[in-house]
Structure 1
Amino acid sequence: MDTELKRQIKNSIEDKRADIIELIELGRDLATDEPEHINHGPNTSMGVPKNTLPKWDDIQLLTAQLAKKPLFDGETVDTQLVIGPRAKSPLVLDIPMFVSDMSYGALSKNAKIALAKGANYAGTGICSGEGGILPEELAANNRYLFEMGTARNGIKPGKEAEFFEKYNGKVKAFHFKGGQAAKTGTGGHLPGAKVTKEIAEVRHITEGQTAISPPTYEDFTSPGEFKDFADLIREGLGGVPIGFKISANHIERDIQFALDATADYIILDGRGGSTGSAPNIFRDHISVPTIPALARARNYLDAQGMKKGASDSVTLIITGGLRVPADFIKAMALGADGIALSNSVLQAIGCVGARICNSGNCPAGIATQDQNLVNKLNIADRADDLDSFFYASTHLMQIMARACGHNSLSQFSMDDLTTWHKEISELTGIAYAGITNDFTPVELPDSAGKLALHNLISQSKIKISAVKQLESFEQLCKGVTLASGSAQAYLTQKQYVDAGYPLEIVLNTLGVRALMRLVPPLMSGSEHRPHLEPYYVGKFQISQIEWQRVTGSTPSEFKLDDNPVNKVTRQECVDFAAKLNSDLVGTGWEVSLPSVEEWIHACRAGTTTQYYSGSLPLDKQGKELSGMSPAQAHSNDMLRVGTIAPPNAYGLYDLYSYIYDFTMTNDFSGQDIYLRGGYYGGFFGSEQHSGSDPNGPAANFKSFRLALRYVGK
């Protein structure tokens, strides 16, 4: 056995032994201590071990060469970050990285000043942390972001006017602290022994008294209350951007809360973020890791129309476990506008990783108030070190930007990423590097004779499952011509799939995530207007939650998120599709309600019987039903999409069950028949019969599904 293998085995055994001893000690404490003595349990510092998290190194960058060209060395690459572009006075940084929230008290005075100076030299900002404003730190940096925590250190209730008078023109951004990845939902405390006279003055508390931060705000609860205070801050500080720092827990709901409170920027702290002190039970067991958290946040903001880098968008800042320039690049490609750094900037000013931040005995003079230790940290030298760190990091990021063909760091996107780890692909939506039949985005050359899917994928609009080269609609249909006056044989769904068309497309835009199934072209003949192109029809009806995300309304009789939307008019359904199309401009794709012919053809799925299942409909177990309404057949079932009966041969659900589908055009016979399927209180309708005034009032049991077509650019 070689020496290296022996060393690895020894280290593994020692690690396991340490874990076992820690568990034994905790078990004894829980068995013998009184609850009031346990408090929050054992405390620790720094973040969780990197080997317990998804790794940035498992994501690879895709550089340019032929189809996409790199830039020449020396070409300018813009590095600017604008925080809160829609604010009256946005905060402009020269680079997309800045110093994250670390409060005076957790860090020493010398450390805070060195960080502020070094960041200022680099043209970037520093956050105050929740401990109030250290005057020397503020004086050292002219891009200062103030964090107000739940204890409201530095801006106590009723003292807002004093805050404005003192800091207007000096504080350039203001954010509420919702939480941090290592300890959210529990508040925090700074022991009285650490509350020096100066710290007490900064926090507006009593010297020597333990500083308590409650788990939540006592004076704000609803988004409206936060908005009112945010507006007060905007007025008092000259229109600075207002943000929220949140930990990655209920990501989408917390982001929506921040949006409702009129946030201009969001700082998202993912699992892996460090802290000076946190209870083990929190640090080790809460929060979504940074990589998937960022992907989810970007996806949600995009769905709300908050596109990355747009002038009317919310700025998304990521923090938590990012260490080196490659991490920063990948985070920006995954959807971050900027990166807030803590651990890496501490290392730049001398942190040795002793992991005893909570002890107050930091040997580098950073996480301590012991003046003998603090004096070891030379402010001027460490500020220069941080400036060099930012300069070198930005330089390497510019080099990679040129290699990827970008003249701005803000241009990094998902198109620049891949991974050979399927788990990372599933966590983030990053394209899997291998061959797969799963829903993996496929990039195709945007050239004549090929489906122009490239822009869809790069904009994260639609993900497709396909592993073969896709032929254009025109090419595939060249040999498929209509025979005058007679039926014409068309390719089957399977033949189109074998030819390379994706069987299923995911339409993902504005809060709608609709699964669309391939339907081959319509047959010609006396009954139908023929189509040459295959099209896609919604696998399910549009759900209530999707309707709510797009329109903001909840018209349905059935209110669960996965109920099909109902009690809508056909015109409202048409308007819904129009909103989605506004977000698909330039992609070559278009959605609408299906025409009557398209709906019938999709429902029949190649059959000629009254129902796609034969002469009778089926229940969800696949048993035939005779003379029964949906209410009778499924009396104990909730009305939820995709739950009533097996799909047809094209993979479409709920075609004749609880709720009718609206169609776009009238019946091919000219009759006013705009509804298809069946409804809750009546008999199962066939795919051919159901009429209604298309412009009539909204009523129960009327819903719709989308059709998706490639119309070209």
Structure 2
Amino acid sequence: MNEVLNILGSIPWWGWIIIFLILVAIKDIFFSKEHIIKHNFPVVGHLRYFLERIGPELRQYIVASDREELPFNRNERGWIYASAKNENNYEGFGTNEDIYRTNYIFINNSMLAYKLEKDHPNSEHPYFIACAKVMGSFNKRQRPYRPASIINVSAMSFGSLSAKAVESLNEGCLLANAYHNTGEGGLSPYHRKGADVAFHFGTGYFGVRGNDGNFSLEKLIKLVQENPQIRMIEVKLSQGAKPGKGGVLPASKITKEIAAIRHVPMGKDVLSPPTHSAFNNIPEMVDFIEEIAEATGLPVGIKSAVGQLKQWEELASIMKKTNRGPDFITVDGGEGGTGAAPPSFADHVSLPFINAFTDVYKVFQKEEITERIVFIASGKLGFPAKAAMAFAMGADSINVAREAMMSIGCIQAQSCHNNTCPTGITTHNKWLQAGINVKDKAERVNFYFAKFKKELLEMTHACGYEHPSQFTMDDVDINLSDKNITMTLASTFAYHKTSVPFTSVQEHMDCPHLGGTFSKGKEVKTKEAETEDTSVYDTN
């Protein structure tokens, strides 16, 4: 035994490396049945799988250009990160965008910008841009609601996001006077940090689910009564990432807390079916919406990706004839989606936002009922120019998901579905979550929203308007192909949006149904989120 130990002790460090590599080679050649590369190229074949695993990071930081990577390129992420950190988010030496590419948009500025007088509300509150419409006013809901911010956090559930991520977003929404959509995972303690809440549920009815797995109106009524911060209810029909498929929360991401909130068992994948059990057709869906609105007093709306238009036309016709139906409609673009989805769905099923929204808006405009509905736009719109385009098309506010995740530190690692998110945002691993400082991340959400609203408002004023709702389809041009190089949105999509009943920003601030901290008479003061305007300096 001593002789063996002496022999082993005499082996140099590089000798152990050689022995290790020989053992790996033997394993690869004789025991690797499922990987051809490892069998045919022992040892070095492992490099292929390692590079494949870190491929997104390699492309993100080394290979891809600033404007090349998807779903969000480096410049887009950089603008969000700089805004969220309250740093200089400007760029110098002109744009590096290909301004001649198809679908590139141009905002048509006015010769004379809108003049902001000293006594204007935005002089004192530069980050206040409320929704121009009141949810539930037409249908006379008991508790109508005007969102105090035109940018809000989209549906992302506790379960798909970690506890600290949800808490950071909610506290950030409180600072920014925005609302926070719960996603379909139910109302968690982390959604109860002060911000207005949009309670969202889908086909799994998590949070308002009976013992039989079906929708429970009694649970919803109780939830709304106990949580007055719930200001609107959203029924998810489908989402951009995987419309008509349903969702899966892997068993590995289900904790006891999540199981209790969702009313589901531990140790099993949680499945959301592709269809609702509470209704089977459009008339029944309208009845379902009205039943919820009557029982809770809140505005009720729907969220859906868009493809075929026949059922949208049926819904618009019913709403026209009966004066019943959703108070708001969230149109989700096919390019959106924070959750995991089969590539066939994520890449090909449902229309991208610009096509989806124009199709749906024209359906309701044909019935002359667009003024009854608050249109919420969703799908990579967390940038001021894209938001201006959405408002020109008829949107009344926008929801952001992945952009909000980036504001609290998401690095686009694209491992949301594996419970291995390196930033702790989409994992329930305690160690990975430990790096999230909730107070700091909440400030970053606030700064991102502040910078976004500041730039959007400046673009609005540059076009001669007081509020983004005043944008028209003639205010935005879009690059097409062939001979039609550039045309307005109105010419491209063949409609003009219905004029929004906007009066003034002051009227919005005086609205009794205004959400956010403004309605409570105790506005949270926003820390100055300005950067020095270096554009006036000549650096030549």
Give TM-score, length-normalised by structure 1.
0.50
- Give 1:71's match in structure 2, choosing from 101, 115, 120: 115
| Inter-partner Cα distance in structure 2 for 1:79 and 1:326 | 16
| Residue in structure 2 matched with residue 150 of structure 1 by the alignment | 203
Does residue 369 of the first structure (1) align with residue 428 of the second (2)? yes
Q: What pairs with 1:545-560 in structure 2 (closer than 5 Å)?
A: none
| Residue in structure 1 matched with residue 5 of structure 2 by the alignment | none
Q: Is the 8 A contact 2:237 2:302 kept in 1?
A: yes
| Residue in structure 1 matched with residue 299 of structure 2 by the alignment | 241
| Residue in structure 2 matched with residue 274 of structure 1 by the alignment | 337
| Secondary structure of 1:65's aligned partner | coil
- Output the amino acid matched with 2:300: I
Structure 1 portions without partners, runs of 5+:
1-24, 26-44, 433-438, 442-455, 461-713
Q: 1:65/1:193 Cα in 2 relative to 1: closer, same or farther (>3 Å)?
A: same
| Residue in structure 1 matched with residue 475 of structure 2 by the alignment | 416
| Residue in structure 2 matched with residue 225 of structure 1 by the alignment | 284
- Output the amino acid matched with 1:276: G
Shift of 1:209: 1.9
| Secondary structure of 2:325's aligned partner | coil
Q: Is the 8 A contact 2:416 2:426 kept in 1?
A: yes
1:103-145 CA distance string (max 9 Å, x none): 11110011111111111211110111111111231x2144211
| Inter-partner Cα distance in structure 2 for 1:179 and 1:426 | 35
Q: Is the 8 A contact 2:151 2:397 kept in 1?
A: yes
| Secondary structure of 1:278's aligned partner | coil
| Inter-partner Cα distance in structure 2 for 1:55 and 1:243 | 36
Structure 2 portions without partners, runs of 5+:
1-34, 36-55, 57-68, 74-99, 123-127, 500-540
Does residue 80 of the first structure (1) align with residue 130 of the second (2)? yes
Q: Is the 8 A contact 1:131 1:203 kept in 2?
A: yes
Q: 1:347/1:233 Cα in 2 relative to 1: closer, same or farther (>3 Å)?
A: same
Q: 1:134/1:407 Cα in 2 relative to 1: closer, same or farther (>3 Å)?
A: same
**Aligned residues: CA RMSD:** 3.0
1:365-419 CA distance string (max 9 Å, x none): 1011111111211111101100111111111111111111111221112121123
| Inter-partner Cα distance in structure 2 for 1:170 and 1:200 | 23
| Inter-partner Cα distance in structure 1 for 2:433 and 2:204 | 26
Q: Is the 8 A contact 2:201 2:235 kept in 1?
A: yes
Q: Is the 8 A contact 1:146 1:173 kept in 2?
A: yes
- Identity of aligned pairs, percent? 30
| Secondary structure of 2:421's aligned partner | coil
Larger Rg belongs to: 1
Identify the structure with the greater helix proportion: 2
| Residue in structure 2 matched with residue 115 of structure 1 by the alignment | 169
| Inter-partner Cα distance in structure 2 for 1:205 and 1:440 | 45
| Secondary structure of 1:130's aligned partner | helix
Q: Is the 8 A contact 1:83 1:90 kept in 2?
A: yes
| Inter-partner Cα distance in structure 2 for 1:56 and 1:100 | 28
| Inter-partner Cα distance in structure 2 for 1:142 and 1:79 | 16
Q: Is the 8 A contact 2:177 2:195 kept in 1?
A: no
Q: Is the 8 A contact 2:104 2:478 kept in 1?
A: yes
Shift of 1:290: 0.9
Q: 1:328/1:440 Cα in 2 relative to 1: closer, same or farther (>3 Å)?
A: closer
| Residue in structure 2 matched with residue 103 of structure 1 by the alignment | 157
- Output the amino acid matched with 1:299: K
Q: Is the 8 A contact 1:273 1:321 kept in 2?
A: yes
Q: Is the 8 A contact 1:59 1:419 kept in 2?
A: yes
Does residue 129 of the first structure (1) align with residue 175 of the second (2)? no
- Output the amino acid matched with 2:430: Q
Shift of 1:422: 4.6
| Secondary structure of 1:277's aligned partner | coil
Does residue 183 of the first structure (1) align with residue 242 of the second (2)? yes
Q: 1:160/1:388 Cα in 2 relative to 1: closer, same or farther (>3 Å)?
A: same
Q: 1:292/1:315 Cα in 2 relative to 1: closer, same or farther (>3 Å)?
A: same
Q: Is the 8 A contact 1:194 1:208 kept in 2?
A: no
Does residue 92 of the first structure (1) align with residue 142 of the second (2)? no
Q: Is the 8 A contact 2:103 2:479 kept in 1?
A: no
Does residue 165 of the first structure (1) align with residue 222 of the second (2)? yes
| Inter-partner Cα distance in structure 2 for 1:132 and 1:406 | 39
| Secondary structure of 1:93's aligned partner | coil
| Inter-partner Cα distance in structure 2 for 1:428 and 1:208 | 55
| Secondary structure of 1:215's aligned partner | coil
| Inter-partner Cα distance in structure 2 for 1:92 and 1:440 | 29
- Output the amino acid matched with 2:363: Y
| Secondary structure of 1:368's aligned partner | coil
Q: 1:428/1:62 Cα in 2 relative to 1: closer, same or farther (>3 Å)?
A: closer
Q: 1:424/1:223 Cα in 2 relative to 1: closer, same or farther (>3 Å)?
A: farther
| Residue in structure 1 matched with residue 384 of structure 2 by the alignment | 325
Q: Is the 8 A contact 1:97 1:341 kept in 2?
A: yes
Q: 1:288/1:440 Cα in 2 relative to 1: closer, same or farther (>3 Å)?
A: closer
Q: 1:395/1:194 Cα in 2 relative to 1: closer, same or farther (>3 Å)?
A: same
| Secondary structure of 2:348's aligned partner | coil
Q: Is the 8 A contact 1:192 1:207 kept in 2?
A: yes
| Secondary structure of 1:318's aligned partner | strand
1:548-594 CA distance string (max 9 Å, x none): xxxxxxxxxxxxxxxxxxxxxxxxxxxxxxxxxxxxxxxxxxxxxxx
- Give 2:419's match in structure 1, choosing from 337, 360, 368: 360
| Inter-partner Cα distance in structure 1 for 2:237 and 2:104 | 30
- Output the amino acid matched with 2:325: T
| Inter-partner Cα distance in structure 1 for 2:300 and 2:422 | 36
- Give 1:257's match in structure 2, choosing from 285, 299, 315: 315
Q: 1:143/1:104 Cα in 2 relative to 1: closer, same or farther (>3 Å)?
A: same
Q: What pairs with 1:392-541 in structure 2 (closer than 5 Å)?
A: 392-422=451-481, 430=489
Shift of 1:76: 4.7
| Secondary structure of 2:183's aligned partner | coil
Q: Is the 8 A contact 1:244 1:267 kept in 2?
A: yes
| Inter-partner Cα distance in structure 1 for 2:457 and 2:465 | 9
| Inter-partner Cα distance in structure 1 for 2:150 and 2:481 | 29
| Inter-partner Cα distance in structure 2 for 1:356 and 1:282 | 18
| Secondary structure of 2:489's aligned partner | coil
| Inter-partner Cα distance in structure 1 for 2:282 and 2:251 | 34
1:650-687 CA distance string (max 9 Å, x none): xxxxxxxxxxxxxxxxxxxxxxxxxxxxxxxxxxxxxx
| Inter-partner Cα distance in structure 2 for 1:202 and 1:273 | 26
1:244-266 CA distance string (max 9 Å, x none): 10002124633643765711111
| Inter-partner Cα distance in structure 2 for 1:99 and 1:383 | 12
Shift of 1:227: 2.7
Q: 1:459/1:83 Cα in 2 relative to 1: closer, same or farther (>3 Å)?
A: closer
Q: Is the 8 A contact 1:270 1:293 kept in 2?
A: yes
Q: Is the 8 A contact 2:479 2:486 kept in 1?
A: no
Structure possessing the higher relative contact order (Cα contacts under 8 Å, 6 or more residues apart):
2
Q: Is the 8 A contact 2:200 2:233 kept in 1?
A: yes
| Inter-partner Cα distance in structure 2 for 1:368 and 1:173 | 28
Q: 1:305/1:187 Cα in 2 relative to 1: closer, same or farther (>3 Å)?
A: same
Shift of 1:159: 3.5
Shift of 1:440: 9.6
